[in-house]
Structure 1
Amino acid sequence: MSIADTALWVIERNSSQELTLGSIAAACKVSRSHLANAFGTASGWPVMKYLRARRLSEAARRLAGGAPDILSVALEFGYGSHEAFTRAFRDQFGTTPEEVRNGGSLDRLDLVAPLRLRDGRARMPIPALRQLGKRRLVGLSAPCSYEATIGIPAQWQAFMSEHYEAIADKVQMMPIGICRAPDEDGGFEYMCAAEVRSTASPRKPLAYLEIEPRSYAVFEHAGHVSTIFDTYTAIWNEALPAAGLDAANGPVLEFHNDAFDPDTGLGGLTIWILLESDRNGSTT
């Protein structure tokens, strides 16, 4: 069973229990960042957003069926007060619990059913364990989410056409992509970056990021760059658990191969996953 499937089971099995990203990750025996990435790449949903949507959908079914006490329904599905439940319910469905109970119908509600995840289309990649030395990076950072990764190619276009040439003291190598660790709602920062030799603060909108020496699991993505999410899904849900590796709550790095062609999206890249504890590996 994949990490995402395990998380789905935990969510559905414990619908009346208090659940957090940390507690679901602990049940899956992975870090919070690992769970957020595994679930997000496999489903397109942030974990906690899916949890809230599922609980509110089941609460709506209970209300439409004529539940006599709205507060009891609220408490059953993890809300501590009538007010908090009503606020979340209105945000999700655009109506109130009272209106659904009085109307006895779910016709106008966009309910979220339990997910059924399909198997990833990528073959399970085999990691290499490597050490990465200190890196100084300057790049263009933007908020992203699992539902909005379609914006990343445009971000790269803006970075390369408007900012890359003006970055001072660059190390002449292919640019690097950085996915920051997701937050509780599944949002993360994505940075298109160039490695630099100095620590001088760049001009806005560019930002400076320093990567400390650490151990990484490194995976090859040889296909077209548009299919990278299939590789990520296989990494987070299958390859890391199969290799007995624990991902840390830290950034994921994407190093483009020297043969990578930004005009065609071909040439491949390597995905570097930060590990929880130091492991032996070759220094790069």
Structure 2
Amino acid sequence: MGFVDKMLWFIESNFRKTIELEDIADACGVSRFHMCRGFVAATGYSVMDYVRGRRLTEAARLLAVGAPSILDVALEVGYGSHEAFTRAFRERFGVTPEGLRDGQYIMSSLLVEPIRMNTAAQTRVSLEPPRREKLGPLTLVGLGRVHRYDNNSGIPSQWTDFQAYEGTLGETENIWFGVCTDFNEEDSSFRYMCAVIAPDTGGLPDELDVLKLPEQTYLVFTHREHVSQIQATMKAIWSDHIPNSDVTVNGLEAVLERYDERFHPVTGRGGFDILIPIKA
């Protein structure tokens, strides 16, 4: 059983209780950072968004069949008060618990059903053996935006917007970075930065950011398929390779995509590197 399968089993057995990220990580024997990245790659959900979704879906079923007490339902699925439960329920489904019990409709697409994932039976990406590389310190200049784990479809247009600045930043030619930082498990978001190496950071447009990264050892994986298939490679990295390796991921630094002269930005082909920060 892979660690994502263990997580799903643990969550399904305990989501009605008050569980924290540390509880799930400890039960599955992985670090919190590794757990969060691997779960997103494998399922498309952040860990806590999946837990909340399972709780509220179970509550919706109880209410749809006429459960008489909203508070009892709230307590049954791990909420400590009527108010907290009602707020979370309305945010997810657009109706109140009372409204659903009284016959209002919620979209079935908002329900979160249990994920049954036998990772051994799934199609896997064949990863080339990674290499270790020491990189940095880096001064990156780029365009940063916040995305949700379950919807990062805005990243291609973000790159299109960033192209307007290329050649104006004194950047190192033919090297671009996609930088993932500020992973937030509470609101299921992360910050993505389209960036270049540009040591001179004076006089930048207000909409551009500067990110300084220290010297860091990375585990470098090569993605050779079309750029749209990056999630499959990420899933293989986090769900297959890292759990079975002896590396320790450094959760305090950024995860990088490095594009060089191999990559063709128009066709999305040619390949690029994915750099995972590790403790040397």
Partner of 2:137: 134
Query: For the residues of structure 2 that align with 1:35 and 1:202, how far apart are their CA atoms?
Result: 37
The number of residues matched between the two structures is 273
Query: For the residues of structure 1 that align with 2:182 and 2:9, how far apart are their CA atoms?
Result: 24
Secondary structure of 2:167 counterpart: helix
- Pairs within 5 Å for 1:158-197: 158-160=161-163, 162-168=164-170, 170-184=171-185, 185-197=187-199
**Offset from partner CA, 1:211-256 (integer Å, 9 cap, x none):** 1012211111111111111000110111111113232223101111
Query: For the residues of structure 2 that align with 1:125 and 1:201, how far apart are their CA atoms?
Result: 42
Query: For the residues of structure 1 that align with 2:28 and 2:203, how far apart are their CA atoms?
Result: 40
Q: CA deviation at 1:173?
A: 3.6
* 8 Å contact from structure 2 (residues 142, 162) kept in 1: yes
Query: For the residues of structure 2 that align with 1:125 and 1:72, how far apart are their CA atoms?
Result: 52
* Partner residue of 2:154 out of 145, 151, 173: 151
- Pairs within 5 Å for 1:57-136: 57-103=57-103, 108-110=106-108, 111-117=111-117, 119-136=122-139
* Partner residue of 2:234 out of 211, 226, 232: 232
Query: For the residues of structure 1 that align with 2:30 and 2:248, how far apart are their CA atoms?
Result: 7
Secondary structure of 2:206 counterpart: coil
Q: Give the TM-score normalised by the residue count of structure 2.
A: 0.88
In structure 2, give the amino acid aligned to 1:158.
D
Partner of 1:48: 48
In structure 2, give the amino acid aligned to 1:41.
A
Q: CA deviation at 1:189?
A: 0.8
Secondary structure of 2:146 counterpart: strand
Query: For the residues of structure 1 that align with 2:41 and 2:190, how far apart are their CA atoms?
Result: 13
Secondary structure of 2:225 counterpart: coil
Partner of 1:15: 15
Secondary structure of 1:149 counterpart: coil
Query: For the residues of structure 1 that align with 2:32 and 2:182, how far apart are their CA atoms?
Result: 9
Partner of 1:24: 24
Q: Structure 2 regions of 5+ residues with no counterpart?
A: none
Partner of 1:6: 6
In structure 2, give the amino acid aligned to 1:30.
V
Query: For the residues of structure 1 that align with 2:189 and 2:250, how far apart are their CA atoms?
Result: 17
Q: Give the TM-score normalised by the residue count of structure 1.
A: 0.87
Q: Which moved more, 1:124-133 or 1:39-48?
A: 124-133
* 8 Å contact from structure 2 (residues 179, 254) kept in 1: yes
* 8 Å contact from structure 2 (residues 254, 277) kept in 1: yes
**Offset from partner CA, 1:108-163 (integer Å, 9 cap, x none):** 45232112346354124432222222111001111112222222111112112x11
Query: For the residues of structure 2 that align with 1:19 and 1:258, how far apart are their CA atoms?
Result: 46
* 8 Å contact from structure 2 (residues 95, 106) kept in 1: no
Secondary structure of 2:153 counterpart: helix
Query: For the residues of structure 1 that align with 2:206 and 2:139, how far apart are their CA atoms?
Result: 17
In structure 1, give the amino acid aligned to 2:161.
A
**Offset from partner CA, 1:43-97 (integer Å, 9 cap, x none):** 2222212211110111222233443432222122121111111121122222222
Query: For the residues of structure 2 that align with 1:125 and 1:8, how far apart are their CA atoms?
Result: 28
Partner of 1:210: 212
Q: Structure 1 regions of 5+ residues with no counterpart?
A: 280-284
2:197 equivalent to 1:198: no
**Offset from partner CA, 1:185-214 (integer Å, 9 cap, x none):** 220111111102235362221110011012
Q: Which moved more, 1:223-232 or 1:73-82?
A: 73-82
Percent identity, aligned pairs only, is 42
Query: For the residues of structure 2 that align with 1:17 and 1:120, how far apart are their CA atoms?
Result: 33
